[in-house]
Structure 1
Amino acid sequence: MLFWDPTFIFLIPAIILAIWAQSLVQQRFYRYSRINSSFGLNGAELARRLLDSAGLFEVKIESIPGRLSDHYDPRTRVVRLSSATYNSHSIAALGVVAHEIGHAIQHKEKYVPLEIRNVFAPVASFGSGFSWIIFLMGLLFWSPALMKFGILLFLLVVLFTLITLPVELNASKRARILLNRMGMPEKELTAVDQVLNAAAMTYVASVAMALLQLLRMIFISGLFGDRN
C-alpha cells in the first residue's frame, strides 16, 4: 500500500479540475495582462486610491516577487502585490488588485466568513501538516483512535477550504463594484469577471480536493480500522 494506493483514484476528478482551473487562470490572466485599462493607473496606484476611498489610509502597499502571489495580510494590514500587478496598467492586474482591496474592506467591516476563516487558519494549518502523519501512524500501528484523530484534524482543513470559498467570491464581487464605481467600462469589467471567475475555480478545486481526500481517509479507515 505504501507503493501503490488504489484509493488514489478518489482524487482523480479533483486533480483534473485543479489542473484545468490553474490552466484557465494562467490563460485568462495572460490574455488580459496584454490589454491596458483605460484608467491610466497602475496596480499600486489603483490600490492606494481604492484603499483611501474606503477610509483605509493606514493599510500599506508592498511589492513582492512572483506572479499571482498577490494577497492581503490582515495581521500586518498590508496589501502585497506581485511584480506582475504592482506596476502594470493591464485589465488583469487591476482586477486582481481590486480583489485584494476587497479583502481589506472585508477585514475593516468584520465580514463574518473572513472572521471565521481567520480563526480557523492556525488549526487548519496544523491539520494540514499533521493529519495525514497521524492517520498513517494509526494505519501502521492498527490504531483506530489515531486514524479517527487524523480524520478529525483533516476535517478542520475541509472546513477551512469551505469557508474560504465564499470569502473569495465576495472579494471578487466587491472588486467589480469598486471598479464600476470608479467608472471602468463594461467591456473591461467583463474581462475582469473572466479573470476573477477563473481564479475562483481554483478555490472550487481546493474544496473538491479536500472533500475527496476526506472521503479517501474515511474509506481507508473503514478497510483497515477494524484489524487487530
Structure 2
Amino acid sequence: MYGYPYYGFDPTFIILIPGILLAFYAQTKVQTTFNKYLRVGSFKGYTGAQVARAILDRNGLNNVNIEITGGRLSDHYDPRSRVLRLSNDVYYGTSIASISVAAHEVGHAIQHANAYFPLTFRNSLVPIVNISSSMSWVFIMLGFFAIPALLDIGILLFSGAVLFQVVTLPVEFNASSRAIEQLVANNLITFDEEKSSKKVLNAAALTYIAAAASAILQLIRFIIIRNSRDD
C-alpha cells in the first residue's frame, strides 16, 4: 500500500517548498537585476550585438552568425546551426545588462568551439531528456494510480531530467566566467562595470541553481513515496 497521500493531503509536498521559494527568489532577482542594469549604459557604448561580434571574431568564430530573436531574456546559442540569437533588448541595447548577456551567450559558442566536455555531455543528453522528461510523468502517474510497478520506471526516467539540470550548472557558470574574461581582456568594459556585469550574470545563475534544486527535491520526494509503498 502507498503511504502517501493521506486523505487528499500529501505530506511529502513539504519537501518541495525550499525549491519553490528558491525559484521564486531567483526569478525575482534576475528580473530586478536585469531591469536595473538595463538602465545603466556602458561607458564604451557598444551594443550587445557589437560586443558579441567582437568577442566571436577575436576568438576565431567568424562563422557564427548573430540573429535577433523574439521574447525577453530569450537569448541563446544554437550549437546545431552555429547561430547566436539575441533578444531585442540585448541585440540593440548598450546597457551593462545587454552586453553582459550577449557575452555570456558568446561564452557558450566558445565552449562549443573548444569542445568543452560538460557542454558536449549536456548536448548529448538533449534527445534522451526530451523523451524521458515527458514520459516520466506518464509512468509516475500510472504508478501512483494504476500499476505500482511503473513508478520505478518513471523515477528512473525523471532521474535523467535531474541529471540534465545538474550538468547545466557547470556549463552556465563557465559561460559566465568566460564572458567576464572576454569583456575585460578585449577592453569592452571598465573596472567598475566588471562588478556590475558579474551581478547580472550571478543573478541569472540563480535560476539554474533553483531549477536543479527543485528537480533534485522532486526526485527525493518520488523516492520517499515509492519507498513508503513497500512499508
Q: TM-score, normalised by structure 2?
A: 0.94
Structure 2 letter corresponding to 1:121: V
* Structure 2 counterpart of 1:132: 137
User: Unmatched 5+ residue regions in structure 2?
Assistant: none
Does residue 180 of structure 2 align to residue 180 of structure 1?
no
Give the counterpart of 1:148 among 147, 152, 160. 152
Does residue 21 of structure 2 align to residue 21 of structure 1?
no
Matched residue SS, 1:35? coil
1:178, CA displacement in angstroms? 0.3
Q: Does the 8 Å contact 1:25/1:199 carry over to 2?
A: yes
Matched residue SS, 1:63? strand
Distance in 1, matches of 2:44 and 2:19, equals 38
Distance in 1, matches of 2:9 and 2:88, equals 41
Distance in 1, matches of 2:216 and 2:58, equals 39
1:4, CA displacement in angstroms? 4.2
* Structure 2 counterpart of 1:222: 227
Structure 1 letter corresponding to 2:160: L
Distance in 2, matches of 1:75 and 1:5, equals 43
Structure 1 letter corresponding to 2:163: L
Structure 2 letter corresponding to 1:214: L
* Structure 1 counterpart of 2:172: 168
Does residue 26 of structure 2 align to residue 41 of structure 1?
no
* Structure 2 counterpart of 1:123: 128
1:34, CA displacement in angstroms? 0.4
Instruction: Please list the CA deviations of residues 41-80 of structure 1 after superposition, one character each: whole Å capped at 9, or x if unmatched.
Output: 1111111111111111111111011111100010111100
Give the counterpart of 1:9 among 7, 14, 24. 14
Structure 2 letter corresponding to 1:54: N
Aligned residue pair count: 225
1:7, CA displacement in angstroms? 2.1
Does residue 217 of structure 2 align to residue 212 of structure 1?
yes
Matched residue SS, 1:119? helix
* Structure 2 counterpart of 1:195: 200
Distance in 2, matches of 1:84 and 1:194, equals 18
Structure 2 letter corresponding to 1:72: Y
1:142, CA displacement in angstroms? 3.7
Does residue 83 of structure 2 align to residue 74 of structure 1?
no
Distance in 1, matches of 2:89 and 2:225, equals 43
**Bigger RCO (CA 8 Å, 6+ sep):** 2
Distance in 2, matches of 1:205 and 1:95, equals 21
1:122, CA displacement in angstroms? 1.5
1:205, CA displacement in angstroms? 0.5
More deviation in 6-15 or 153-162?
6-15
Q: TM-score, normalised by structure 1?
A: 0.95
1:130, CA displacement in angstroms? 1.4
Q: Does the 8 Å contact 1:66/1:84 carry over to 2?
A: no
User: Unmatched 5+ residue regions in structure 1?
Assistant: none
Matched residue SS, 2:77? strand
Distance in 2, matches of 1:197 and 1:4, equals 37
RMSD over aligned Cα atoms: 1.4
